[in-house]
Amino acid sequence: MTLEILMSDTLKPLRHGFFTRKGGASSGVFHGLNCGAGSSDQSDIVAINKRRVADAMEVLPENLVTIHQVHSADVVTIEEPIVGERPRADAVVTDKPGLALSILTADCQPVIFADREAGVIGAAHAGWRGALEGVLEATIEAMEKLGASRANITAVIGPTISQSAYEVGPEFLDAFLQDDAENTRFFANGKSDRMHFDLPSYGLHRLRSAGIGHAEWTRHCTYSDPERFYSYRRSTHAKEADYGRLISSVRL
């Protein structure tokens, strides 16, 4: 089966893609293109999947750059392939051609950034915690240090969990209200004291408030489409032992 790669017209002709789970070598609960080295999938199979992604991005496997994601607002600037231990961060930027900046997700927002005129790109892993703490704005600031212009940056949010599938408790709502009382607009009432959080709308709000040129969401929900996407929450509800990780990538 060939790989399925979702792309945005606003980022073309830049080589990029939000890869679905189709076309991978993994089996069982991971069946498909699991690129999560932190999963319990076989490491040699994950390596095969990542090589397929590298081939699609037209880079050497060692130039497929991933980081050790920790749900933070930390950003690293990369000038060459990472050798050895991966830096702990949740976003990565570069102005060097040939490096495919890549993010792994399974419900959180994968966000690809680009200022094509300046030749600066970025990729961020933005779950609720990272987005709340400012990982999107930190990525933009790191790109500016490389010569990007905020007004020329395009950011695209890839497949992520949608509001209807994202049920949260009152303590979750409190964390957002403490940051900004107007964040209530991203919550809808659920059963009892439960709420439903609109993560992609919150991400778009943060991106647009930062003053970039364009921000959009591909409008794919990871939870509701098991044939195409891995989902941490769906796997948890199904009481599966583990879950796969989707990869999103961009290169100059």
pLDDT tens, 105-134? Answer: 999 999 999 999 999 999 999 999 999 999
Mean pLDDT, range 138-153, rounded to an integer = 98
Mean pLDDT, range 64-86, rounded to an integer = 96
Mean pLDDT, range 83-108, rounded to an integer = 97
The answer to the question of residue 225 being in a domain is yes
pLDDT tens, 162-175? Answer: 999 999 999 999 99
**91: region left, alpha or beta (phi > 0 left; psi from -120 to 50 alpha):** beta
Q: What range does the domain containing 242 cover? A: 5-162+198-251
Residue 139, pLDDT score: 98
- Asked if 199 and 3 touch (Cβ cutoff 8 Å), the reply is no
Residue 1, pLDDT score: 67
Task: Tell me, letter by letter, the H, E, C secondary structure of 128-153.
Answer: HHHHHHCHHHHHHHHHHHCCCCHHHC
Domain with residue 137: its CATH number is 3.60.140.10
The answer to the question of residue 186 being in a domain is no
Rounded to the nearest integer, the mean pLDDT of the chain is 97
Residue 65, pLDDT score: 97
> DSSP of 47-100, one letter per residue?
HHHHHHHHHHHTS-GGGEE--B--SSS-EEE-SS---SSPPB-SEEEE--TT-E
Nearest to 109 by CA among 146, 69, 49, 58: 69
pLDDT tens, 1-55? Answer: 699 999 999 999 999 999 999 999 999 999 999 999 989 999 999 999 999 999 9
Residue 74 has pLDDT above 80, yes or no: yes
The answer to the question of residue 140 being in a domain is yes
The answer to the question of residue 10 being in a domain is yes
Domain count, the chain: 1
The answer to the question of residue 181 being in a domain is no
